[in-house]
């Protein structure tokens, strides 16, 4: 999120470089873990439009300076903007951010995100919506927004509901066949999910990640489908140089170049994703209360990931948890565009404090005063009714507010390709 309304923007928050057929966009706030500001989003949006209209550009590369790809939005900045101004300042930021996520997902030029470090929240919106997502041994992914009274947004109800990797297995990136077949498979699975969801075998890793804010390493991201390739960090510069010389926007060609630098992965022995059966058993339940109760029944096995999941869910905003569960269940049969529009509506309610102050209170407890004792409203899951949750999905009652309007794009969201 953004602090653009309070002071002059920092210089050079995003660096732009040209290298043969490639254009590089480098997030450049390493002292803030490359957290996104309004200025950064605006700069990327402007340059993305230029690159799409330049026939000499064949491929786009997005990366971050320092030890983070992008740790999310500048939450502190947007809170100060709201407190010192008006809630609509935050809405303006979100509109810009979600629009950029959509532009990336529908870009006419293949975008490769090099995720060498921390990627959370808004950083996930940039990278998970790109065609190629390259991770390393340094990558750490999480979406812990529920801990501050928000929810996993930026299209998470779309990409987390479509995880289709091979959890619990040692896998190597094999993307070429998927790219080759994507036109037919993309259409087929979209039709099946949209019109016949009852015949699909759902997987619930997305519910696990969104409700608990669990952290994944690069190997786990590849295994579940969040990443398309795993490359050792020492080989990233060589990969960048090779990508710069690709004189084509053909996805298969680009995938083969990346695969030439890819390494095999091995999941840690205690990885939660070696317990896919338990994840599905717990997180397939119909309500957050049932999910939590089932986890508590499973904790006798002593798995650390279950203990962490329970602790995380109990410390998060009850309202946020229920919002996300409804979102991801509905997101399974929605287009990315519709998921982003819904994200915007909900977040406007939260920053406007239409029904509660959980975002303000969670940020106070976790980011400002850091007492880690937020006073949620309501304070317990059983006090958050379905009717209360449904309110966040409805139009904001403000004369100046309107639904998110995303631009018409010829390309469909290409992240389908890497989820099949």
Q: Which two tokens stand for residue 267?
A: 């999941």
Non-local CB neighbours of 177 within 8 Å, separated by 6+ positions? none
Residue 269 φ then ψ, to 5°: -60, -35
C-beta of residue 206 within 8 angstroms of C-beta of residue 279: no
* Beta-carbon-side half-sphere exposure of residue 356 (alpha carbons within 13 Å): 23
C-beta of residue 249 within 8 angstroms of C-beta of residue 59: yes
Q: Which two tokens stand for residue 129?
A: 């919506």
* Helix residue ranges per DSSP H, 54-172: 75-84, 87-105, 122-128, 156-159
Q: Which two tokens stand for residue 231?
A: 């490359």
Distance of alpha carbon 60 from alpha carbon 180, whole angstroms? 21
In 147-190, at which residue ranges do the beta strands (DSSP E only) sit?
none
CB atoms within 10 A of CB 357: 14
Q: How far is CA 45 from CA 10, 15, 86, 312, in A?
A: 18, 13, 24, 35
Distance of alpha carbon 264 from alpha carbon 322, whole angstroms? 37
**In sequence order, what are the beta bridge partners of 134?**
114, 229
Please give, one letter per residue, the 3-state secondary structure of 255-309. Answer: HHHHHCCCCCCCCCCCCHHHCHHHHHHHHCCCCHHHHHHHHHHHHHHCCHHHHHH
C-beta of residue 139 within 8 angstroms of C-beta of residue 224: no
Q: How far is CA 20 from CA 247, 253, 376, in A?
A: 9, 16, 52
**Catalytic center residues:** 73, 122, 145, 153
Query: Starting at the edge strand that comes first in sequence, how are the strands of the sheet with 14-19 ordered?
Result: 14-19, 22-27, 59-64, 111-115, 132-135, 229-230
Distance of alpha carbon 286 from alpha carbon 202, whole angstroms? 13
């Amino acid at each position: 999120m953004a602090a653009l309304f309070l002071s002059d923007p920092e210089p050079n928050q995003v660096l732009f470089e040209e290298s043969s057929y490639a254009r590089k966009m480098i997030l450049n706030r390493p002292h803030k873990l490359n957290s996104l500001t309004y200025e950064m989003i605006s700069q990327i949006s402007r340059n993305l439009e230029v690159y799409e209209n330049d026939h000499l550009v064949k491929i786009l590369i997005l990366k971050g300076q320092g030890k983070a790809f992008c740790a999310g939005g500048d939450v502190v900045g947007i809170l100060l903007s709201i407190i010192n101004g008006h809630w609509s300042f935050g809405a303006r930021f979100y509109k810009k951010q979600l629009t950029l996520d959509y532009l990336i997902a529908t870009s006419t030029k293949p975008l490769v995100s090099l995720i060498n470090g921390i990627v959370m929240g808004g950083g996930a919106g940039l990278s998970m919506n790109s065609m190629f997502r390259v991770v390393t041994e340094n990558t750490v992914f999480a979406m812990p927004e529920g801990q501050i009274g928000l929810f996993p947004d930026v299209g998470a109800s779309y990409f987390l509901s479509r995880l289709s990797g091979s959890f619990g297995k040692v896998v190597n990136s094999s993307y070429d066949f998927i790219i080759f077949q994507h036109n037919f498979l993309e259409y087929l699975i979209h039709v099946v999910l949209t019109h016949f969801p009852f015949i699909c075998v759902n997987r619930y890793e997305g519910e696990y990640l969104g409700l608990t804010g669990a952290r994944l390493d690069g190997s786990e991201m590849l295994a579940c489908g969040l990443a398309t390739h795993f490359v050792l960090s020492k080989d990233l510069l060589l990969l960048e140089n090779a990508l710069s010389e690709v004189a084509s926007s053909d996805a298969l060609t680009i995938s083969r170049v990346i695969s030439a630098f890819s390494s095999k992965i091995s999941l840690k022995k205690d990885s939660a994703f070696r317990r896919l059966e338990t994840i599905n058993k717990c997180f397939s339940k119909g309500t957050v209360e049932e999910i939590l109760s089932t986890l508590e029944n499973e904790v006798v096995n002593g798995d650390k990931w279950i203990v962490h999941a329970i602790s995380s869910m109990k410390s998060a905003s009850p309202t946020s948890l229920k919002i996300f569960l409804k979102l991801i269940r509905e997101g399974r049969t929605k287009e990315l565009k519709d998921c982003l529009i819904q994200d915007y509506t909900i977040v406007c309610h939260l920053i406007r404090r239409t029904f509660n102050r959980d975002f303000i209170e969670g940020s106070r407890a976790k980011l400002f005063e850091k007492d880690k004792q937020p006073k949620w409203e309501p304070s317990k899951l059983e006090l958050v009714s379905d009717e209360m949750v449904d309110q966040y999905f409805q139009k904001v009652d403000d004369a100046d507010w309107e639904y998110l309007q995303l631009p018409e794009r010829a390309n469909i969201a290409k992240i389908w390709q890497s989820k099949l």
